[in-house]
Structure 1
Amino acid sequence: MTVTEYDSLFIGGRWSKPSTNKVISVMSPSTGLHLGAVPEAVETDVDRAVRAARTAFDSASGWSTWEPARRAAAMVRLADALDARKEEMATRVSAQNGMPISVAGPFEATVPAGLLRYYAGVLQDAHFEEQRQGLPIGTTLVRREPLGVVAAIVPWNFPQVLAFFKMAPALAAGCTLVLKPSPETVLDSYLLAEAIAEAGLPEGVINIVPGGRATGAYLVSHPGVDKVSFTGSTAAGRQIAAACGQLLRPVTLELGGKSAAIILDDADLPGSVDQLFAASLLNNGQTCFASTRILAPRSRYDEVVDFYTTMAESATVGDALDPATQVGPLVSSRQRDRVESYIAKGLNEGARLTAGGARPVGLETGWFVEPTVFADVDNASTIAQEEIFGPVLSIIRYDGDNDAVSIANDSAYGLGGTVWSADPNRALGIAKRIRTGTIGLNGYLPDLTSPYGGMKASGLGRELGPEGLAAFQQFQSIYHP
């Protein structure tokens, strides 16, 4: 990938000069080389972006007043513009965050356009007004209105997918947005801006302010924002929830996870290799819903350990842009240090290392960590309770289905999870007992048509599906005596 430098911000539908000379530099996690730079948005830039979004929402002919069919047509145009850039989008994301290019193609380059078209279709059947017979007398017109200006704050691990978890339903609802991408993945947001301009969305409907925590904190508390939608760590989510609570501002939080993969005693491991790999090690383990706690029945424990050990040792580790790579680098040296510190904690707490645990030989210039498997893990240990966000799996024994459910639920988190069995009805029965927002049977991916989100420390609210549209709407009741 060639070095890409930008000197402008996309605010109000046009490229504008930033308020300062501050820049965000992006480094390749595969090579450590410089990939590019963009301006860093500061408070003055955020003010301009929110003002542009406010104007686009409040004006008499603004986005919020458009008929649903007209909004849907504009969303489809944006989907087409993204499709025209899909290969470059996949390359930029992969080069920035270490996501294998084989993953970036079907996710980062494909899902955003799919979500835009899905919500454009939802608009065709959506009803924004309903007449109700009142009690005891009269009638009431119940209206669904767009919430207003949305602050959308997205992480680096799936930057485009998670941006459109927010943007597609918000646009469909009639909201306008200020998008803050993570500083680790900003180059792809400029490709998005080019697509927005080409699609002819009205000025100010989507504004992009690259920045770090200070930029995000200022945006969250900005008086011109009506709703915050955030994906990221639970620690940051708690701070955002506190700020929004003080402001009585609606907020959706999709936070961390420590999901369990329950391997039942009749599971077909050899026949599920690809699905098991994807459920636990997708995107180098830098996935919030990843099933990184592997719960194995005592009767098959050694077999499960051997299976995951072989799977980890046979995975192809390499440059994220190599199509053969299954596990790429971590996003940054800081993230690698974090993952390595958890590996050290696992060893210190008595877990048995069966695969990985070190930096791969021959890949010294990037932020690589070998796919790592720990056996003999106590569910109360640090590596079983805290989110590591890297290719580290912990295998935990259980005795019987009830014990498996108890261990799976013994977590501060509740975002994803999986159950593996040859008996679909048995697996379903187990899945229904897990305190988690989403769970898969013999495989897992979020369904774009169904609500996605977490319980407990994994967040508040839901994204995707019709429920994702409702998250950007508010009710107004008009009473007629």
Structure 2
Amino acid sequence: MTSIADGTGVLAGEQRMLIDGELQLTAGGTLFDVIDPATELVAGQATDGTVDDMARAVGAARRAFDETDWSRDLDFRYHCLSQLHAALERNKEHLRRVLITEVGCPVKVTGSQIESPIDEVKHWAEHGKNFDYLADNGVHQTPLGPARRKIHYEAVGVVGAITPWNVPLYLNIAETVPALMAGNTVVLKPAQLTPWSGSEYGRIVAEETDIPPGVFNVVTSNANEVGAALSADPRVDMVTFTGSTATGRAILAAGAATVKKTLLELGGKSAHIVLDDADFGMALPMAALMACVMSGQSCILPSRILLPRSRYDEGIEIMKTMMENFPVGDPWDPANMQGPQISETQRQKVLGMVAEAVDSGARLVTGGGVPDKLPVGYYTQATLLADVHPDSRIAQDEVFGPVLAVIPYDTDDEAVAIANNSIYGLSGEVSGGDLDRAFAVATRMRTGNVTINGKSHFGIDSPFGGTKQSGLGYRNGAEGYKEYLTAKTIGMPE
């Protein structure tokens, strides 16, 4: 274990939640443990909020939206989020240590979970400041004479944000900062396994910004019913959620009674179609790397690799070599790029799905167990499965572990059909030498986002969202900002 004294060791996070501007413990002071997945030890505690706490947070957010000028004072919102950006920068290394402690993310790859979300705060502040909230739609002829129509973009109201554990600080910010800048008030319910990335965020807001009481609230809890209470509360106008498709369905059902606006980023089982003219030496090591970074705990990970039968053995050998030599271990060691799974439950799910796949006819090329050198911590071997049937569970269900399922194909049409054989449609990838051919394949994939030859689709300026059961709506880009706004059309004399 790296020592705390040198600034890189484990660090317990903020125990308190933020409700109506006050950092507080739940009534009675009940706490729940936060486990360090790299050591399996208790790293600290977080307050175990209740349904009553959630009700108070929603009430505070409702009052702040209805009774203050937050939704109408653009300059003040810009001021507050500029403060938040500066405060997150000041707390950056503290947040990094908390993140590694509660998630097990290797320090070498924390940039996307620390620097990226902090940069996004500044981006959304600038985007919101320059957004045209009143657009002239021109003069239109009507039976009652000409009418000028203007479109007024207004905040939705109270936004409930429910976030997952895999990239907690990033998604806490991605689901709340654009909402705040658009003029909404927010209640954040962070994941049970990673409460500190939410409570630390709340502490920074309370102590280092002028964001008024009630505008931003954080309720941590180890109880599923607390998040459910947020999505069902009639005072909440919109719910934004990232997580499993099963939970997304439950959130849709809970919000149906009040017809809540719902923004969902759900599960994925993304396919990477490797065409026969692709540069295997470039495409496949990267495919193996993406499976291992973050321990495979990524919704956009292309976990199905579709290889042309004519080059099948060549491709498998490249990925096998990469996965067997991938650096896994202590997340505090900068030499490592794969850390542990988030919990023993998650590790057993991963290993169980691999064992089931092998029993069902898949060929275990490498991995499938626990690394011999890592008896402590929830570590899993990078795993490569070949000869996977497209309809098997390992090819259809999200694993959320460092596991690649390889499927052979003969024609481009067959590859597209296999890729589309899924209830999910979040992401995808195509590798090929002929860009026109690769682009044509990409346009036929029923998925919200596609990467061609490693040129990532993901970025703050481009809309990101899923098709089918991978979600509703968009994050990022102008489309993502508008998710937190309503468009009111006003007809008036010209």
Under TM normalisation by the shorter chain, which class is it? over 0.9
Deviation sequence 1:102-142 (CA, Å, 0-9, x none) = 222x1111122211111122124311112332331322332
2:76 aligns with: 70
Q: Aligned to 1:395, what secondary structure does the other structure show?
A: strand
Query: How far 1:274 sits from its partner (Å)?
Result: 5.9
Amino acid at match of 2:466: G
Query: How far 1:289 sits from its partner (Å)?
Result: 0.6
Query: How far 1:7 sits from its partner (Å)?
Result: 4.8
Amino acid at match of 1:98: G
Deviation sequence 1:71-108 (CA, Å, 0-9, x none) = 2232122111111122221221122122222222x111
1:341 aligned onto 2:341 = no
1:231 aligned onto 2:232 = no
Deviation sequence 1:34-76 (CA, Å, 0-9, x none) = 1110101101111121122122212242x10112x43223212
Q: Which stretch has the larger CA shift, 190-199 or 451-460?
A: 190-199
1:398 aligns with: 409
TM-score w.r.t. the length of structure 1 is 0.96
| Paired residues for 1:317-466 under 5 Å | 317-443=328-454, 444=456, 446-466=458-478
Q: Aligned to 1:20, what secondary structure does the other structure show?
A: coil
Query: How far 1:28 sits from its partner (Å)?
Result: 1.0
Amino acid at match of 1:168: V
Amino acid at match of 1:369: T
Q: Is the 8 A contact 2:13 2:200 kept in 1?
A: no
- Check 1:295–1:373 CA distance in 2 against 1; reply closer, same or farther (3 A cut): same
- Check 1:5–1:418 CA distance in 2 against 1; reply closer, same or farther (3 A cut): closer
Question: Which ranges of structure 2 fall in alignment gaps of 5 or more residues?
Answer: 1-8
2:213 aligns with: 203
RMSD: 1.6
2:101 aligns with: 95
Q: Is the 8 A contact 1:275 1:442 kept in 2?
A: no
**Residue identity (%):** 38
Question: Which ranges of structure 1 fall in alignment gaps of 5 or more residues?
Answer: none
Q: Is the 8 A contact 2:152 2:488 kept in 1?
A: yes
Task: Report the Cα distance in structure 1 between the residues aligned to 2:451 and 2:387, rounded to whole angstroms.
Answer: 25
TM-score w.r.t. the length of structure 2 is 0.93
Q: Aligned to 1:379, what secondary structure does the other structure show?
A: coil
Query: How far 1:277 sits from its partner (Å)?
Result: 3.7
- Check 1:458–1:419 CA distance in 2 against 1; reply closer, same or farther (3 A cut): same
Q: Which stretch has the larger CA shift, 350-359 or 188-197?
A: 188-197
- Check 1:422–1:88 CA distance in 2 against 1; reply closer, same or farther (3 A cut): farther
Task: Report the Cα distance in structure 2 between the residues aligned to 1:218 and 1:274, rounded to whole angstroms.
Answer: 44
> Residue 116 of structure 2: which of 96, 111, 114 is its match?
111
Q: Is the 8 A contact 1:24 1:183 kept in 2?
A: no
Q: Aligned to 2:99, what secondary structure does the other structure show?
A: helix
1:123 aligns with: 128
> Residue 32 of structure 2: which of 4, 24, 29 is its match?
24
Amino acid at match of 1:162: L
Query: How far 1:200 sits from its partner (Å)?
Result: 2.1
1:472 aligned onto 2:466 = no
- Check 1:331–1:383 CA distance in 2 against 1; reply closer, same or farther (3 A cut): same
Query: How far 1:397 sits from its partner (Å)?
Result: 0.3
Q: Aligned to 1:141, what secondary structure does the other structure show?
A: strand
Q: Is the 8 A contact 1:91 1:321 kept in 2?
A: no
Q: Aligned to 2:71, what secondary structure does the other structure show?
A: helix
Q: Aligned to 1:270, what secondary structure does the other structure show?
A: helix
The number of aligned residues is: 478
1:84 aligns with: 90
Amino acid at match of 2:392: S
Amino acid at match of 2:198: S
1:296 aligns with: 307
Amino acid at match of 2:477: G
1:141 aligned onto 2:185 = no
1:59 aligns with: 67
Task: Report the Cα distance in structure 1 between the residues aligned to 2:373 and 2:158, rounded to whole angstroms.
Answer: 48
Moved over 6 A (4+): none
1:48 aligns with: 56
2:17 aligns with: 9
